[in-house]
Amino acid sequence: MGASGTVSGPDLSVQIGSLTLKNPVMVASGIFGYGDEFRGLADYGELGALVLKTVTREPRPGNPPASRTVETPAGMVNAIGLENVGVEALVEEKLPLALSYGTAVIASIAGDTPEDFAACAEILDDTPVSAIEINISCPNVRKGGMAFGVDAWASAQVVRAVRPATRKPLIAKLTPNVTDICAIARACAAAGADAVSLVNTFSAMVVDVETRRPVLAANTGGLSGPAIRPAAVLRTFQVARAVSAPVIGMGGIWNASDALEFIIAGASAVAVGTVLFADPAAGNRVLAGIREYLVRHRLDSLQELVGSITLRDGD
């Protein structure tokens, strides 16, 4: 795997607002909880950042059980429904363990109202989290979540409410379930987001044809995994051209080549999600592959690659 770990290797660092990540590979929100449960299955401290499960002002039970996830061709549909311990328990019980990995930890927040988001951000402002991701794109809750993220004005409202509550870099996480994701990205950036991340899941449904009921207890959920990758790459490409803020790309990344598609299309950083359920060391594998690619292509820094796509002439 080439020059991995050598001191003279390419520069992999990434700038997200005032935050510098040591490399572009992050863990996506909701995949590995508050960071402690996967401990020991890979060297998560090696990655650029760990985004924790989205939390809300108060703890939430999430959607009813049986089932909350279901497999689909090259993907899965989940409807966890933002089950979480609440922002206060996150800070008191969970954060110290997540921080012990020795890499940047990013909190993810959600709420029913812009004020809810702001309240979470205010609490997190006093903690060592490196940044705050604003989840306005969860398809699995009735109020809040995607209801904000599908509307540019409502998205901006949330970002505007959070902005004064913290000096931490703010990342707005976008849903792909919209007609014009660029408009929403621009609205978030204008409202003060330092970066945008995308995509959250594509809303979806799986039917059990024998019982004629939805497989998910919540009826609907969000599609993730390799299945959505080409759709996620396009949205990353579009948003990267629409805003000057850095873009964190994700959706179906399984290997380094997948991650490089996002980076070349315009992502400054990438996140691995679903793949971690199959391969807990996928982030490390992707990181090693990106480093190897840079070495092989004699690129001194990742920055040279970000958005370096050359379009075809078209017709």
Partner 1 sequence: MTTREGPSQPTAEGTDGRLVHRLEAPILESARLPAGYHRLVVRAPAIGAVAQPGQFLHVWCHDPTTIGTPPAAAVLRRPYSISRVWSGEAVEILLQVRGVGGRMLSGRRVGESLDLIGPLGKGFRIHDDLRTAVVVAGGSGIAPVPFLTETLVARGVRVVALVGAADDDRMPFPVDRAEPGRATLLPLEAVGAEVTFVAEAVEGKLVSEALEERLEELSGPGAEVMATGPVAMLRQVVKTAGESLPVQVSLEERMACGVGACRSCVVPVTGAEGIVYRTVCRDGPVFAGGEIAWERLGR
Ligand X SMILES: Cc1cc2nc3c(=O)[nH]c(=O)nc-3n(C[C@H](O)[C@H](O)[C@H](O)COP(=O)(O)O)c2cc1C
Positions in the binding site for its own copies (CB under 8 A): 61, 63-64, 72-75, 77, 81, 150, 177-179, 202-207, 209, 212-214, 216-220, 223, 225-231, 233-234, 237, 252, 254, 257, 260-261, 264-265, 293, 305, 308-315
- For ligand X, which is the closer residue by CB, 67 or 200? 200
Of residues 130-149, which lie at the interface with partner 1 (CB under 8 A)?
none
Residue 53 corresponds to which tokens in the numbers above?
């499960």
207: left (phi over 0), alpha (psi -120 to 50) or beta: beta
Place of tokens 């029913």: 112
With binding defined as CB under 6 A, does residue 149 bind ligand X?
no
Residue 42 corresponds to which tokens in the numbers above?
């890979």
In the DSSP assignment, the letter for residue 93 is I
120 in active site: no
Residues 231, 178, 28, 105: is their CA dihedral positive or negative?
A: positive
276 binds, among ligand X, its own copies, partner 1, none (CB under 5 to 8 A by kind): partner 1
Q: Which one of 67-75, 125-133, 138-146, 164-172 is the stretch in contact with partner 1 (CB under 8 A)?
A: 67-75
In the DSSP assignment, the letter for residue 271 is E
- For partner 1, which is the closer residue by CB, 150 or 256? 256
3-state SS, residue 84 = strand
CA distance linking residue 303 with residue 294, whole number of Å: 10
* End-to-end Cα separation, the chain, in angstroms: 40
Cα 72 to its chain centre, rounded Å, is 21
Q: Which one of 85-93, 205-213, 266-274, 285-293 is the stretch in contact with ligand X (CB under 6 A)?
A: 266-274
Give the per-residue contact string, 197-236, with ligand X (x = CB under 6 A; - = no): ---xx----------------------xx--x--------
- Residues 172 and 193: beta-carbon distance below 8 Å: yes
Q: How far is the CB of 128 from its own copies (least distance, A)?
A: 34
Residue nearest to ligand X (CB): 30
In the DSSP assignment, the letter for residue 90 is I
DSSP-assigned beta bridge partners for residue 69: 78
Active-site positions?
Answer: 138
Binding region for partner 1 (CB under 8 A): 30-33, 36-43, 53, 61-62, 64-71, 73-76, 78, 80, 83, 97, 217, 225-226, 252, 254-255, 274-281, 284-285, 312
